């Protein structure tokens, strides 16, 4: 059973499920369902899909994640960034509004799910670490700007396209004279109300005497109130005849069984975008899950999270949805509402299924401007350009990666932006490690500690050169160490021994081993012995498999202080009691 529950976490928490957890999960499900109804419709519109696709993508994925996922509070479904990535990817192979577009979205979800599932089964979740936090922050901020800009056309009631910020702004400016004043009024009114509801509605309700739980539910229901009021206004005032665009007919049914398009050409075209969506979605999801789990001293299994998200996306592919992941806002709401187990997700799915069957006719007159306002308010909270200031102050290389990610995402599109960010991060890391910090060290008087001679007052010996290598040695930096030692020992000094202090070296690859051998031979020809000190066990084990230690002209010392005592005149005369200090 323990082995089975590892892959089916529901068997673990399900055995301990009680009435208290049931009540808390039901309350959380009600709150999240109220929040998800308008949000799901809005994100489907952002993805270029019919509004019902957003609800469908929030039902089966929630149930499947509850079975396979390990987070007690993560709420899975459509999110803004993944919706934008979906629109960008699918828009390359089909026209919005066509059956081929919806079919391609299903295929994208399937590929994403299979990729995540494969990573989870093979326990390769660590690969997501190649996306650094600054790059992710820059990408999400740029995506938030793109998403908000893309919704301006709905707030203005005009036609405007574009795949990047310059194209969108140019299209909006061209068509600005065609702005529908009624649509603009609705859009601005709903946007202003939603911004106020996020911060001011709950405190107001509490001042009016509402119980905390009721105030919280009503505050979270702000978007629902906006949907109801704007829908009634459009229907009652006949605003459709005045050019206000509406959602229109939404199928009144449960998610259908669908079959993705498995044609080789489409699979090949969507494979790379699917991988990108998978990685971005997983990083966002696991970050939220870990943050919420830590607050309750719980833990999640990142590899099992991959399986849970993979199953959720596969479920979306066969039930009329599109790629999904764990959402920040809805997960926080789920957590704050008191959800104790993933069963809250199952109850939320039931609530959305009821809404899909019973409530969809009620959104016929829902204006697109209201959904656009919901998206704008949600995504602007993701924009945090302060990351530029923070990285500039802390690390110029990180700043370069963030700035490039933001700039390229805004001007070239989301795929190029995040790919460039990852590529720049990797290249910068390789560059930094190719020039490792190597410090010449000396003995701190009265101690057995060795520190950088440029930073501390230390004792040195003209015949002994000790270099502390502060990086693992591999093919990219091995030649750098060779050149550094060569330059240092050809300065006419009286050096007769060189010690490489390996306290910070965690690995030595074969290229670095060959460089160490070359250093040893060159120093030997110059009458200088090469020594090592403080070599870690795994590194020593690897060196013992070669002939290097047998051919090395010097010794391997357990500590740098042992090397100092053995190789210097002052060290040899140190008193034993001083050595023990």
Round to whole Å and give the CA distance between 210 and 17: 31
Q: Quick one: pLDDT at residue 3?
A: 65
| Tokens read off for 82 | 């993944």
Quickly tell me which residue has 């789920």 as its tokens.
334
List phi, psi (to 5°) of 531. Answer: -130, 160
Which residues of the chain, if any, have pLDDT below 70? 1-3, 5-6, 128-131, 491-492, 570-581
Q: How many CA atoms lie within 13 A of 155 on its CB side?
A: 19
C-alpha torsion angle, residues 425, 430, 432, 437 (rounded to 10): 150
Give the rounded distance of the alpha carbon of 574 from its chain centre.
54
Q: Using an 8 Å Cβ cutoff, are 508 and 543 in contact?
A: yes
Comparing CA positions, the residue from 112, 96, 102, 110 lying closest to residue 54 is: 102
Q: Using an 8 Å Cβ cutoff, are 66 and 347 in contact?
A: no
CATH topology of domain 438-579: Transcription Regulator spoIIAA (3.30.750)
According to DSSP, the residues that pair with 76 across neighbouring strands are 326
Q: Quick one: pLDDT at residue 128?
A: 66
Q: Quick one: pLDDT at residue 580?
A: 34
Quickly tell me which residue has 């006419």 as its tokens.
492
Round to whole Å and give the CA distance between 464 and 379: 60
Comparing CA positions, the residue from 454, 453, 466 lying closest to residue 559 is: 466
User: What residue ranges in 457-549 does DSSP mark as E strands?
Assistant: 464-469, 497-501, 529-533
Q: Quick one: pLDDT at residue 129?
A: 67
pTM: 0.78
Round to whole Å and give the CA distance between 177 and 162: 18
Q: Quick one: pLDDT at residue 572?
A: 52
Axis crossing angle, helix 133-150 with helix 80-90, rounded to the nearest 10: 70
Domain boundaries, the chain: 2-361+370-398, 399-434, 438-579
Comparing CA positions, the residue from 84, 136, 128 lying closest to residue 105 is: 84
Q: Quick one: pLDDT at residue 426?
A: 79
Q: Using an 8 Å Cβ cutoff, are 52 and 37 in contact?
A: no
């Amino acid at each position: 059973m323990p082995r089975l529950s590892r892959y089916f976490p529901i068997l673990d928490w399900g055995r301990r499920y009680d009435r208290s957890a049931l009540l808390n999960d039901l309350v959380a499900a009600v709150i999240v369902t109220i929040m998800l109804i308008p949000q799901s419709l809005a994100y489907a519109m952002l993805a270029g899909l019919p509004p019902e696709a957003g609800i469908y993508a929030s039902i089966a994925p929630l149930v499947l994640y509850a079975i396979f996922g390990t987070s007690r509070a993560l709420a899975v479904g459509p999110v803004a960034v993944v919706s934008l990535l979906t629109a960008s990817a699918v828009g390359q192979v089909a026209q919005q509004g066509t059956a081929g577009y919806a079919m391609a979205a299903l295929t994208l979800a399937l590929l994403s799910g299979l990729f995540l599932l494969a990573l989870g089964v093979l326990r390769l979740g660590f690969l997501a670490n190649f996306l650094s936090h600054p790059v992710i922050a820059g990408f999400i901020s740029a995506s938030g700007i793109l998403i908000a800009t893309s919704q301006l056309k709905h707030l203005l009631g005009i036609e405007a396209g574009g795949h990047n910020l310059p194209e969108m702004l140019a299209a909006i400016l061209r068509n600005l004279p065609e702005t529908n004043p009624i649509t603009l009024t609705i859009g601005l009114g709903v946007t202003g109300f939603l911004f106020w509801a996020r911060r001011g509605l709950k405190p107001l309700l509490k001042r009016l005497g509402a119980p905390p739980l009721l105030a919280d539910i009503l505050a979270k229901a702000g978007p629902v109130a906006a949907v109801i009021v704007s829908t009634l206004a459009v229907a009652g005032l006949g605003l459709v005849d005045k050019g206000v665009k509406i959602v229109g007919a939404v199928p009144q049914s449960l998610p259908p069984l669908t079959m993705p398009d498995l044609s080789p050409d489409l699979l090949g075209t969507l494979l790379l975008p699917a991988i990108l969506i998978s990685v971005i979605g997983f990083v966002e999801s696991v970050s939220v899950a870990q943050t919420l789990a830590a607050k309750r001293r719980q833990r999640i299994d990142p590899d099992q999270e991959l399986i849970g998200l993979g199953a959720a996306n596969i479920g979306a592919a066969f039930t009329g949805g599109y790629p999904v992941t764990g959402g920040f806002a809805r997960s926080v709401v789920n957590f704050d509402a008191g959800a104790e187990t993933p069963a809250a997700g199952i109850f939320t799915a039931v609530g959305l299924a009821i809404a899909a069957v019973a409530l969809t006719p009620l959104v016929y007159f829902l204006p697109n401007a209201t959904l656009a306002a919901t998206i704008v308010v949600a995504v602007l909270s993701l924009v945090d350009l302060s990351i530029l200031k923070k990285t500039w102050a802390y690390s110029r290389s990180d700043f370069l990666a963030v700035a490039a990610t933001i700039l390229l995402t805004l001007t070239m599109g989301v795929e190029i932006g995040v790919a460039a960010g990852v590529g720049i991060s990797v290249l910068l890391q390789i560059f930094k490690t190719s020039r490792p910090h190597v410090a010449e060290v000396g003995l701190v008087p009265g101690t057995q500690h060795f520190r950088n001679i440029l930073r501390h007052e230390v004792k040195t010996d003209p015949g002994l050169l000790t270099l502390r290598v502060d990086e693992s040695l591999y093919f990219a930096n091995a030649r750098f160490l060779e050149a550094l030692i060569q330059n240092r020992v050809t300065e006419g000094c009286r050096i007769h021994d060189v010690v490489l202090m390996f306290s910070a070296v965690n690995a030595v690859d074969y290229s670095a081993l060959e460089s160490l051998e070359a250093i040893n031979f060159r120093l030997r020809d110059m009458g200088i012995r090469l020594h090592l000190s403080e070599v870690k066990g795994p590194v020593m084990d690897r060196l013992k498999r070669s002939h290097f230690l047998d051919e090395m002209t010097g010794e391997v010392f357990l500590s740098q202080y042992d090397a100092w005592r053995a190789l210097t005149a002052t060290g040899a005369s140190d008193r034993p009691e001083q050595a023990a200090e």
